[in-house]
């Protein structure tokens, strides 16, 4: 690990499905201590890029390096530094949240007492403690609760870099505030975060850097103020990715 290295350096990450590039030479630097928002239209390549970044999807070409460690040539070392919330996280469902966290952490070789105390604290802060007391299984969780337990698994081993695919999706406003505070605390303590999101106001309020991806390519990246300029992030986003309205002659049948 190199202390002066950026938290993440993506260089030319490319993934092609049936001749079409889902990610097309995606390059991005995430400075240590920053909170970066990754935004882009549906199907732009955000999930594909993040999955290649954290070692879940093998790139056709390109590299992903976390604090100087190549994710694909030194995966074990890289993954100790990464906390990941993947898209559509498949969780073992016949466990309570607490059991899931314990199982996850013991697989990572963590000390059982440390796991117990961190899991209890995380579940209390994320308001999953009540469900745990009732013995609720993850299969019985709501969508937002599943997102929260997924986040807890990402945080449990105290990573240096969090890569979170749509962490705020389906999370209620009170929990979203808690999550924001947790991420800001994480960054203040020297961690680095990348989140993907479709909620421009959230990215604008939370992130200090932003990357816009469209059609598999990074079309803008840098400090939030530079990417959005004088406009709002939403306006800058629409300008960068193109606008699509509903024509006067379209969907007329909806009004009949």
Ligand X SMILES: Nc1ncnc2c1ncn2[C@@H]1O[C@H](COP(=O)(O)OP(=O)(O)OP(=O)(O)O)[C@@H](O)[C@H]1O
Closest to ligand X by CB, 52 vs 128, is: 52
What is the spatial distance between Cα 203 and Cα 206, in angstroms, rounded to a whole number? 5
Closest to ligand X by CB, 230 vs 243, is: 243
Residue 57, CA distances (Å) to 54, 72, 202 in order: 8, 10, 27
In the complex, minimum distance from the CB of residue 102 to ligand X, in angstroms, rounded to a whole number: 30
Binding residues (CB under 6 A) for ligand X: these are: 17, 22, 40, 42-48
Two structure tokens written together for 28: 């991005």
Closest to ligand X by CB, 34 vs 47, is: 47
User: Cβ-closest residue to ligand X?
Assistant: 22
What is the spatial distance between Cα 97 and Cα 136, in angstroms, rounded to a whole number? 8
In the complex, minimum distance from the CB of residue 17 to ligand X, in angstroms, rounded to a whole number: 4
Closest to ligand X by CB, 48 vs 153, is: 48
Helix axis angle for 112-125 and 97-107, nearest 10°, is: 140
In the complex, minimum distance from the CB of residue 198 to ligand X, in angstroms, rounded to a whole number: 6
Complete DSSP assignment for 16-43: EETTEEEEEEEEEEE-TT-EEEEE--TT
């Amino acid at each position: 690990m190199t202390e002066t290295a950026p938290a993440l350096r993506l260089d030319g990450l490319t993934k092609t499905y049936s001749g079409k590039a889902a990610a097309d030479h995606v390059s991005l630097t995430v400075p240590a201590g920053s909170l970066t928002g990754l935004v882009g239209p549906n199907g732009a390549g955000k999930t594909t890029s993040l999955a290649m970044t954290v070692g879940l999807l093998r790139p056709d070409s390109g590299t992903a390096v976390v604090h100087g460690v190549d994710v694909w040539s030194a995966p074990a070392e890289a993954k100790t530094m990464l906390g990941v919330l993947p898209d559509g996280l498949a969780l073992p469902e016949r466990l309570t949240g607490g059991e899931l966290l314990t199982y996850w952490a013991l697989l990572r070789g963590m000390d059982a007492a440390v796991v117990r105390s961190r899991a209890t604290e995380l579940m209390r802060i994320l308001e999953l403690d009540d469900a745990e007391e009732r013995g609720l299984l993850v299969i019985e969780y709501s969508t937002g609760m599943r997102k929260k337990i997924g986040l807890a698994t990402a945080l449990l081993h105290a990573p240096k870099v969090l890569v979170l695919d749509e962490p705020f999706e389906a999370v209620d406003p009170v929990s979203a505030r808690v999550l924001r505070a947790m991420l800001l605390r994480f960054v203040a303590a020297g961690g680095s975060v990348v989140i993907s999101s479709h909620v421009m106001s959230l990215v604008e309020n939370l992130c200090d850097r932003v990357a816009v991806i469209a059609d598999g390519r990074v079309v803008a990246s840098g400090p939030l103020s530079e990417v959005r300029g004088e406009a709002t992030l939403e306006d800058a986003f629409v300008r960068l990715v193109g606008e699509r309205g509903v024509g006067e002659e379209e969907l007329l049948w909806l009004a009949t």
